[in-house]
Amino acid sequence: MKAVIFLGPSLPLAEAREILDAVFWPPAQQCDLLTAIVNEKPDVIGLIDGMFLQSLSVWHKEILYALDQGITVYGSSSMGALRAAETYEFGMIGIGEIYRMYASGELIDDDEVALAHASADQQYKKVSEPMVNVRATFQAAHVAGIIDTNQLAKLLEISKGIYFAERTFRAIFKAAAGKLPPSIIDVLAVFVEKNYIDLKRQDAIELLQTIRQRPAGNGNGRKPNNSFTFKRSTAFETLFNRDRQVPQNSISLHLETISNYVALNDPDFDDLNFNALNRMVVFAFAEMLGLEVDPNALEAECARFRKRKGLTDEVDFASWLTANHLNNEDFRGLISQVVLCRRLHSWFMIAMWMERTSKVILDELRLHDQYTEWAARAASQERLLASTGHMDTSRIPIQDLVAEHCEWSGCAIDIDPVEWAEEAGFHTIGNLKMGLSRASKMRHALLELLAASSADENDDESLPQDAAESSGEQIVDR
């Protein structure tokens, strides 16, 4: 079982480690749970302390996402008690007295658990008192007979009226001067020093002990929570896809930080951005049309991607997912977009049956300032073919022609040739075979020229310049 615990001033980290073997994170702020879920892949999350005011608080939707992923989420002591009381009906488990008081309605104010504290370097040492601890300590003094009911009520009123970051026993006693007898305040100060009740500490310990006592069989093999339907809202997607942090070179980066860096430093960013937005526009249009991803098409597209990237081995694929900060679900979601884009491409190809994609391909080359280069290379191939004799390739299977072409050109025809022909803009499989045959004939002509030039002392003058540029292929040693 792997547990991630968000802990700060409620309990010293060293003491917490003695109770539970877990991954301890600082007090949670917004998006930290999402980051932990993706990066740590825990079976259990324990939310004890959380940030607020100077940063956004951990969001309820993050907790629901964890529950939906089958992660058991506990809360106690501070922010954890608050969030557990707010989300218990969805499956978050509250632990301890503070949770009980919030869940019952006995406590309703956030400032009951709020306090000011030092930084992580100073081990989150508290510099003010949470109201729950003040309340519990003064009630203990009342039970001990040090203060009566009216004095207890007056002290709690005074304490509650002090801003949480300034709430200390010194400040409370100073504010109580003149409202309570000095002798009572003096005796109470001694009692507090010797009998201070730290509810937050007690509840934090109880949470850690509860997780430690979980049966070993509860870890791993998580099952999604079926008590509610989790919906990924726009705000959640923003948190997940922009604000979430990922590990890279021993530090954590917000995803937005990476994309902003690319925008400012990649010379080809304009094309990257344009193509990315085009993909999203097509995907959005597919959703507007109500198109759904065919499971078979999704599997085929996943296999096609992995084959093209050389990721057929599961270990290699897992490493690629990790390096790209994706899980398998995210990967399949991305490929689902590609599937729907291809489906709309197919519709477009049918609509443009006669013209096909000649114009759009050539226009794309023009936009990238590559048209003249490819036009010249195509012309070189035509001149070379015109100067060679007939070569019969009609009996060569198209699979052999494809294999030869991919080996020599470095191009990838990585699906069934019939499907690829339609995808690439050929009218029929016969048109594709004709194009492959012409490319094969051109290669043989080049090889003959190479052989002849090797035997010629003036080989530099024997090989036509445009032959080496034809069809975009390289001349290599075999």
- Please give the model's pTM, rounded to 2 decimal places: 0.79
How confident is residue 394, by pLDDT bands cut at 50, 70 and 90? Answer: confident
The structure tokens listed for 324 are 């790209």
Strands 23-25 and 3-6: parallel
Q: 468 pLDDT exceeds 50?
A: no
Query: In this structure, what DSSP letter does residue 368 have?
Result: T
Phi-psi region of 123 (alpha: psi -120 to 50; beta: other; left: phi over 0): left
Q: Locate all alpha helices (DSSP H) within 352-424, ordered by sequence.
A: 358-367, 371-386, 398-409, 417-424
Q: Which two tokens stand for residue 91?
A: 């499956």
Q: Using CA atoms, how far apart are residues 28 and 77, in angstroms rounded to an integer?
A: 13
What mean pLDDT is predicted for residues 407-419? 82
- Report the pLDDT value the prediction gives residue 444, as an integer from 0 to 100: 80
At residue 456 the predicted structure's pLDDT band, cuts being 50, 70 and 90, is: low
Q: What is the pLDDT of residue 223?
A: 61
Q: What is the DSSP string of 220-258?
A: SS-----SS-----HHHHHIIIII-EEEETTEEEEHHHH
Closest Cα to residue 76, out of 169, 208, 191? Answer: 208
Domains and CATH numbers, the chain: 3-111+201-218+230-239 (3.40.50), 122-198 (no CATH), 268-351 (no CATH), 361-472 (no CATH)
- Per-residue DSSP letter, 92: -
Please answer whether residues 346 and 422 qualify as being in contact, where contact means their C-beta atoms are separated by less than 8 angstroms. Answer: yes
Sole residue written with tokens 């002798």: 183
CA 415 to each of CA 346, 403, 412, 419, 421: distance values in angstroms, whole numbers, following the listed order: 15, 12, 9, 7, 10
